[in-house]
Structure 1
Amino acid sequence: MSCSLIQKYNVAGPRYTSYPTVPYWDEASFSVQQWKQSLKRSFDESNTTEGISLYIHLPFCESLCTFCGCHKKVTKRHEVEQPYIQAVLKEWELYCQLLGDTPQIKEIHLGGGTPTFFSVEHLQQLIQGILAKASIAEGHEFSFEGHPNNTTKAHLQALYELGFRRVSYGVQDYNENVQKAIHRIQPFEHVANVTKWAKEMGYQSISHDLVFGLPFQSLEDVLKTIDLTNSLLPDRLAFYSYAHVPWIKGNGQRGFKDYDVPKDDLKRTLYEEGKKKLLAHGYHEIGMDHFALEHDGMYQSFKTGSLHRNFMGYTSSKTQVMIGLGVSSISDSWYSFAQNEKVLEDYYARLENNEIPVFKGHVLDAEDLKIRKHILNLMCTFETSWSEQAMDFPERAEVIQQLVEMQQDGLLQIEKDRIVIAEQGKPFVRNICMAFDLRLKRRKPETQIFSMTV
Structure 2
Amino acid sequence: MLSNLVNKYNISGPRYTSYPTVPYWNENTFSSKKWEATLTQSIAESNASEGISLYIHLPFCESLCTFCGCNKRITKQHHVESPYIQAVLKEWQMYLDLFDEKPILKELHLGGGTPTFFSPENLKSLIEGILKDAELAKNYEFSFEGHPNNTTREHLQMLYNLGFRRVSFGVQDYNETVQKAIHRIQPFEHVKKVTDLARNIGYTSVGHDIIFGLPFQTIAHVEETILKTKSLLPDRLAFYSYAHVPWMKGNGQRGFNDADLPSPEQKRKQYELGKKLLAEVGYMEVGMDHFALKTDSLYQSMISGQLHRNFMGYTASKTQTMIGLGVSAISDSWYGFAQNEKDIEDYYQALNENKLPVYRGHILNDEDLIIRKHILNLMCQFETSWNSNLYFNEIPEVLIRLKEMEKDKLLSISNKTLRVTQKGQPFVRNICMAFDVLLQRKQPNAPLFSMTI
**TM-score, scaled relative to structure 2:** 0.99
Counterpart code for 2:416: D
Kept after mapping to 2: 8 A contact 1:65/1:183: yes
TM-superposed deviation, 1:251: 6.1
Counterpart code for 1:239: F
TM-superposed deviation, 1:141: 0.4
Kept after mapping to 1: 8 A contact 2:70/2:251: no
TM-superposed deviation, 1:390: 1.1
Q: Report what 1:432 is aligned to.
A: 431
Secondary structure (helix, strand or coil) at the match of 1:390 reads coil
Kept after mapping to 1: 8 A contact 2:142/2:163: yes
Q: Report what 2:58 is aligned to.
A: 58
In structure 2, what is the Cα distance between the partners aligned to 1:214 and 1:194?
A: 24
Quote the RMSD (CA, aligned, Å): 0.7
Secondary structure (helix, strand or coil) at the match of 2:337 reads strand
Counterpart code for 1:431: N
User: Are residues 1:448 and 2:439 paired?
Assistant: no
Q: Report what 1:202 is aligned to.
A: 202
In structure 2, what is the Cα distance between the partners aligned to 1:37 and 1:251?
A: 33
Counterpart code for 2:352: E
In structure 2, what is the Cα distance between the partners aligned to 1:250 and 1:79?
A: 23
User: Are residues 1:76 and 2:76 paired?
Assistant: yes
Question: Residues 165, 251 of structure 1: CA spacing in aligned structure 2 closer, same or farther, 3 A cutoff?
Answer: closer
Kept after mapping to 1: 8 A contact 2:69/2:251: no
Deviation readout 1:230-255 (Å, 9 max, x if unpaired): 10010000000000111115661111
Alignment of 1:369-384 (within 5 A): 369-384=369-384
TM-superposed deviation, 1:2: 1.7
Counterpart code for 2:95: Y
TM-superposed deviation, 1:386: 1.3
Q: Report what 1:312 is aligned to.
A: 312
TM-superposed deviation, 1:449: 0.8
Q: Report what 1:283 is aligned to.
A: 283
TM-superposed deviation, 1:123: 0.1
Kept after mapping to 2: 8 A contact 1:61/1:73: yes
- Unaligned runs of at least 5 residues, structure 1: none
Percent identity of paired positions between Structure 1 and Structure 2: 65
TM-superposed deviation, 1:416: 1.6
Kept after mapping to 1: 8 A contact 2:174/2:225: yes
Q: Report what 2:267 is aligned to.
A: 267
Deviation readout 1:376-431 (Å, 9 max, x if unpaired): 000000000113x1101111111011111111101000112100000000000000
Q: Report what 2:15 is aligned to.
A: 15
Q: Report what 2:5 is aligned to.
A: 5
Kept after mapping to 1: 8 A contact 2:68/2:251: no
Which stretches of structure 1, 4 residues or more, deviate above 3 A after TM superposition? none
Counterpart code for 1:36: E
Question: Residues 98, 250 of structure 1: CA spacing in aligned structure 2 closer, same or farther, 3 A cutoff?
Answer: closer
Kept after mapping to 2: 8 A contact 1:69/1:249: no
Deviation readout 1:57-94 (Å, 9 max, x if unpaired): 00000000000010000000000000000000000000
**TM-score, scaled relative to structure 1:** 0.99
User: Are residues 1:421 and 2:420 paired?
Assistant: yes
Counterpart code for 1:62: E
In structure 2, what is the Cα distance between the partners aligned to 1:25 and 1:2?
A: 34
Secondary structure (helix, strand or coil) at the match of 1:136 reads strand
Secondary structure (helix, strand or coil) at the match of 1:424 reads coil
Kept after mapping to 2: 8 A contact 1:58/1:110: yes
TM-superposed deviation, 1:447: 1.1
In structure 2, what is the Cα distance between the partners aligned to 1:435 and 1:176?
A: 40
Of 116-125 and 270-279, the range deviating more from structure 2? 270-279
In structure 2, what is the Cα distance between the partners aligned to 1:23 and 1:332?
A: 16
Deviation readout 1:144-169 (Å, 9 max, x if unpaired): 00000000000000000100000000
Q: Report what 2:31 is aligned to.
A: 31
In structure 2, what is the Cα distance between the partners aligned to 1:315 and 1:124?
A: 24
- Unaligned runs of at least 5 residues, structure 2: none
In structure 1, what is the Cα distance between the partners aligned to 2:308 and 2:250?
A: 32
Deviation readout 1:188-228 (Å, 9 max, x if unpaired): 00000000011111111110000000000000000110010
Kept after mapping to 1: 8 A contact 2:288/2:426: yes
TM-superposed deviation, 1:142: 0.3
Secondary structure (helix, strand or coil) at the match of 1:214 reads coil
Q: Report what 2:91 is aligned to.
A: 91
Secondary structure (helix, strand or coil) at the match of 2:294 reads coil
Q: Report what 1:333 is aligned to.
A: 333
In structure 2, what is the Cα distance between the partners aligned to 1:142 and 1:2?
A: 39
TM-superposed deviation, 1:124: 0.1
Q: Report what 1:119 is aligned to.
A: 119
Secondary structure (helix, strand or coil) at the match of 1:198 reads helix
In structure 2, what is the Cα distance between the partners aligned to 1:181 and 1:22?
A: 29
Counterpart code for 1:292: A
TM-superposed deviation, 1:35: 0.4
User: Are residues 1:147 and 2:147 paired?
Assistant: yes
In structure 2, what is the Cα distance between the partners aligned to 1:199 and 1:263?
A: 38
Kept after mapping to 1: 8 A contact 2:198/2:206: yes
Secondary structure (helix, strand or coil) at the match of 1:254 reads coil
In structure 1, what is the Cα distance between the partners aligned to 2:100 and 2:79?
A: 33
Q: Report what 1:132 is aligned to.
A: 132
Secondary structure (helix, strand or coil) at the match of 1:380 reads helix
In structure 2, what is the Cα distance between the partners aligned to 1:44 and 1:251?
A: 38
Across the two proteins, how many residue pairs are aligned to each other? 453
In structure 1, what is the Cα distance between the partners aligned to 2:447 and 2:112?
A: 25
In structure 1, what is the Cα distance between the partners aligned to 2:404 and 2:279?
A: 29
In structure 1, what is the Cα distance between the partners aligned to 2:254 and 2:93?
A: 40
Q: Report what 1:257 is aligned to.
A: 257
Alignment of 1:33-52 (within 5 A): 33-52=33-52
Q: Report what 2:103 is aligned to.
A: 103
In structure 2, what is the Cα distance between the partners aligned to 1:251 and 1:22?
A: 17
Q: Report what 1:394 is aligned to.
A: 393
Counterpart code for 1:38: T
Counterpart code for 1:98: L
TM-superposed deviation, 1:100: 2.5
User: Are residues 1:322 and 2:322 paired?
Assistant: yes
Kept after mapping to 2: 8 A contact 1:60/1:74: yes
Of 393-402 and 174-183, the range deviating more from structure 2? 393-402
Q: Report what 2:405 is aligned to.
A: 406
Counterpart code for 1:178: V
Q: Report what 1:346 is aligned to.
A: 346
In structure 2, what is the Cα distance between the partners aligned to 1:292 and 1:19?
A: 25
In structure 2, what is the Cα distance between the partners aligned to 1:322 and 1:251?
A: 26
Counterpart code for 2:85: I
In structure 1, what is the Cα distance between the partners aligned to 2:264 and 2:121?
A: 46
Kept after mapping to 2: 8 A contact 1:42/1:321: yes
In structure 2, what is the Cα distance between the partners aligned to 1:264 and 1:103?
A: 45
